[in-house]
Amino acid sequence: MTATTTRHNGDAYADLPRLMALMTGDEKHGPAATSTLDVLWVLYDRVLRVSPERARDPERDRFLLSKGHGPMAYYAVLAAKGFLPVDLLSGFGSYDSPLGHHPDRTLLPGVEIGSGSLGHGLPIAVGEALGLRAQGLTGPAVWVLTGDAELDEGSNHEALAFAGPAGLDRLHAVVVDNSSATHARPGGIAARFEVAGWSVATADGHDHEALYEAFTRPHPGRPHAVVARVRSKNA
Amino acid sequence: MDTMRDRFATVMARLLDEDPRVAVVLAEIGRDGFTDAARRHPDRVINVGIREQLLIGAGAGLALTGMRPVLHTFGSFLVERPFEQVKLDLGHQDAGAVLVSALGSYDWPAGGFTHMSPGDVALLDTLDGWTVHVPGHPDEAETLLRHAVGAGDDKVYVRLSVQSNDDARPVDGSRPLTVRRGGGGVVVAVGPMLTPVLEATADLDLTVLYATTVRPFDARSLRAATESAGADVVLVEPYLAGTSTPAAAEALADVPHRLLGLGVGRRELRRYGTMPEHLAAHGLDPAGLRERIVRFLDAGRPRPAGGRTAR
DSSP B170-189: ---SSSPEEEE--SS-EEEE
Q: What is the pLDDT of residue A232?
A: 86
Q: How many helices (H) and strands (E) does chain A have?
A: 10, 5
CB proximity under 8 Å: B 3-22 to A: 20
Torsion angle, CA of B294/B300/B301/B303, rounded to 10 degrees? 110
Q: How far is B24 from chain A (nearest CA, A)?
A: 11
Looking at the 3D structure of chain B, how many domains does it have? 2
The continuous run of DSSP H or E covering A42 comes out as: helix A37-42
**Is residue A3 pLDDT above 60, yes or no?**
no
Looking at the 3D structure of chain A, how many domains does it have? 1
Q: What is the pLDDT of residue B305?
A: 63
Kindly report, residue by residue over B166-194, the tens digit of the pLDDT. Answer: 999 999 999 999 999 999 999 999 999 99
Residue to substitute from A155, A157, A170, A172, interface B, most B β-carbons within 10 A: A155
Q: In whole angstroms, what is the distance from residue A113 CA to residue A142 CA?
A: 12
End-of-domain residue from the set B129, B159, B189: B159
Average pLDDT over residues B77-95: 98
Q: CA gyration radius for chain A?
A: 17
Range of the domain at A50: 3-229
Q: What is the pLDDT of residue B301?
A: 86
Q: What is the pLDDT of residue A7?
A: 45
CB-based contact B16:B46 (threshold 8 Å): no
CB-based contact B286:B194 (threshold 8 Å): no
The amino acid sitting at A12 is A
Tell me if B93 and A114 make a contact (CB, 8 A cut-off). Answer: yes
The percent of residues above 90 in pLDDT, for chain A, comes to 89
Please indicate whether residue B23 or residue A32 has the higher confidence score (pLDDT): B23
Q: Does A184 touch chain B (CB under 8 A)?
A: no
Same domain as B147, residue B184: no
Same domain as B191, residue B127: no
CB-based contact B95:B89 (threshold 8 Å): yes
Quick check: helix, strand or coil at residue B302? coil
Tell if the pTM clears 0.90, that is, is over it. yes
Same domain as B121, residue B80: yes
Same domain as B146, residue B11: yes
Instruction: Specify if B308 maps to a domain.
Output: no
Tell me if B89 and A123 make a contact (CB, 8 A cut-off). Answer: yes
Same domain as B211, residue B136: no
Instruction: Specify if A234 maps to a domain.
Output: no
Instruction: Specify if B304 maps to a domain.
Output: no
**Is residue B62 pLDDT above 80, yes or no?**
yes
The percent of residues above 90 in pLDDT, for chain B, comes to 96
Instruction: Specify if A180 maps to a domain.
Output: yes
Same domain as B181, residue B147: no
ipTM tops the 0.90 cut = yes
Q: What is the chain A residue with the closest CA to B25?
A: A127
CB proximity under 8 Å: A 54-73 to B: 58
Tell me if B66 and A120 make a contact (CB, 8 A cut-off). Answer: no
Kindly report, residue by residue over B223-267, the tens digit of the pLDDT. Answer: 999 999 999 999 999 999 999 999 999 999 999 999 999 999 999
Kindly report, residue by residue over B289-311, the tens digit of the pLDDT. Answer: 999 999 999 999 887 665 444 44
Instruction: Specify if A52 maps to a domain.
Output: yes
Looking up residue B27, the CATH number of its domain turns out to be 3.40.50.970
Range of the domain at B240: 177-299
Least confident among A14-28, A92-106, B69-83: A14-28
Instruction: Specify if B124 maps to a domain.
Output: yes
Burial of B107 (0-12, 13-18, 19+ CB in 10 A): buried
Q: What is the pLDDT of residue A234?
A: 67
pLDDT tier for residue A68 given thresholds of 50, 70 and 90: very high
Kindly report, residue by residue over A147-191, the tens digit of the pLDDT. Answer: 999 999 999 999 999 999 999 999 999 999 999 999 999 999 999
Same domain as B255, residue B146: no
Q: What is the pLDDT of residue A28?
A: 83
Q: What is the pLDDT of residue B309?
A: 45
The percent of residues above 70 in pLDDT, for chain B, comes to 97
Residue to substitute from A60, A102, A158, interface B, most B β-carbons within 10 A: A158
Instruction: Specify if B310 maps to a domain.
Output: no
Same domain as B148, residue B258: no
Looking up residue A102, the CATH number of its domain turns out to be 3.40.50.970
Looking up residue B293, the CATH number of its domain turns out to be 3.40.50.920
End-of-domain residue from the set B106, B132, B159: B159
Same domain as B74, residue B30: yes
Instruction: Specify if B305 maps to a domain.
Output: no
Q: What is the pLDDT of residue B177?
A: 98
Instruction: Specify if B17 maps to a domain.
Output: yes
Is residue B78 left, alpha or beta, with left meaning phi > 0 and alpha meaning psi from -120 to 50? alpha
Instruction: Specify if A235 maps to a domain.
Output: no
Which of B48, B64, B92 is facing A162, going by the closest CB pair? B48
**Is residue A37 pLDDT above 90, yes or no?**
yes
CB-based contact B34:B9 (threshold 8 Å): yes
Same domain as B134, residue B58: yes
Instruction: Specify if B112 maps to a domain.
Output: yes
